[in-house]
């Protein structure tokens, strides 16, 4: 019997209605459009309204992913949600989305890997599908960072935005010419103090704040991401010339450009949404995928490399043949 492999059959995204530009922020804190653009590449971000919870946004993104995959609630065996900003401590955001989608079977759970969450969710879902445990899995990154930011700290509040992205994965036994080729995830808790949330979160609790040592995060980001990328290429006897697209976590334009340059990829081979979305943490990669697939840049057959680093520290990479 042919063992199943994982295909990515549909993606979807959701961005909150409200847009906040750099100039808008400059009216509230000591910053400017030029200061933010120069250091991050960000020009604007979407900020969730009261009704745009992690569950609501995740549900919207998931519905779009299912539609594009030609799937329904009956096709979903599992829902894995990556989020650092759940609506409540429990039940899991994944369970709330399961209910909102009308999925009555299977299982659902959250994972917490900060900005690496979508890569982690992909790795877990791929392993479950290959093991024969599931045939259809929704993986969702959904984040409401605006509710954990210190809006007086210009070093962090300008960096983040809200949003959700989703992908529907299927078990496929009809050859392995497309789908998830491999995933590679890592963590090192020795560096947990350079990027973290100072306490618990939740809509009914007093919000705590994100704390970041930006210089230290940047120092670790490129070498750790480069290592994960090299690991993925080496594991599959590939080189950077085989990559059609780099879809990186959208944290900072400088980090994105450094990774593209290291892989000898042209600017037209790197998907960039950080300028319009800011850092949406676990939602950033699926939102970027959705952007590039929707506008036709990423096409069937293309080899896509994704990579991310987040608080923990956590980091990882994956190769996907579309």
State the maximum Cα–Cα separation within the chain, in Å, rounded to a whole number: 63
| Torsion 186-192-195-196 (CA) sign | positive
- Active site (annotated) includes residue 249: yes
Order of strands, sheet of 136-143, starting from the edge strand that comes earlier in the sequence: 5-14, 163-172, 136-143, 78-82, 107-111
Residue with tokens 């799937």: 71
Q: Kind and range of the H or E element at 291?
A: helix 284-294
- Active site (annotated) includes residue 279: yes
Q: Could you tell me if 304 and 118 are in contact, meaning their C-beta atoms sit under 8 angstroms apart?
A: no
- Active site (annotated) includes residue 5: no
Q: Active-site residue among 115, 134, 184, 277?
A: 115
How far from 92 is each of 97, 98, 126, CA to CA, in Å? 9, 10, 21
CA 134 to CA 118: how far, in whole Å?
18
Q: Active-site residue among 5, 209, 249, 277?
A: 249
| Torsion 247-254-41-265 (CA) sign | negative
Catalytic residue positions? Answer: 115, 249, 279
């Amino acid at each position: 019997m042919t063992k199943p492999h994982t295909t990515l059959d549909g993606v979807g995204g959701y961005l909150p209605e409200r847009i906040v530009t750099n100039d808008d922020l400059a009216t509230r804190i000591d910053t400017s459009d030029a200061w933010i653009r120069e250091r991050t590449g960000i020009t604007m971000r979407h900020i969730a309204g009261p009704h745009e919870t992690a569950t609501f946004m995740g549900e919207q993104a998931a519905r779009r992913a299912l539609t594009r995959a030609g799937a329904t609630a009956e096709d979903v065996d599992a829902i894995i949600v990556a989020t650092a900003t759940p609506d409540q401590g429990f039940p899991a955001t994944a369970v709330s989305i399961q209910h909102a989608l009308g999925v009555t079977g299977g299982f659902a759970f959250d994972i917490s890997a900060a900005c690496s969450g979508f890569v982690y969710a992909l790795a877990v879902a791929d392993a479950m599908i290959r093991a024969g445990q599931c045939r259809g899995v929704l993986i969702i990154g959904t984040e409401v960072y605006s509710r954990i930011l210190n809006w007086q700290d210009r070093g962090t509040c300008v960096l983040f935005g809200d949003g959700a992205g989703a992908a529907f994965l299927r078990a496929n036994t009809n050859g392995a010419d497309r789908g998830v080729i491999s995933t590679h995830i890592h963590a090192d808790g020795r560096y947990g103090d350079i990027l973290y949330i100072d306490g618990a979160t939740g809509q009914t609790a007093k919000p705590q704040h994100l704390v970041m040592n930006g210089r230290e995060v940047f120092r670790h980001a490129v070498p750790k991401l480069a290592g994960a990328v090299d690991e993925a290429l080496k594991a599959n006897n590939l080189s950077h010339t085989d990559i059609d697209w780099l879809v990186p976590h959208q944290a900072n334009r400088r980090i994105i450009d450094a990774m593209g340059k290291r892989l000898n990829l042209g600017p037209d081979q790197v998907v960039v949404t950080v300028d319009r979305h800011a850092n949406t943490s676990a939602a950033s990669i699926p939102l970027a995928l959705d952007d590039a697939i929707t506008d036709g840049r990423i096409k069937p057959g293309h080899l896509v490399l994704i990579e991310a680093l987040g608080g923990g520290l956590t980091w990882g990479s994956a190769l996907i043949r579309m």
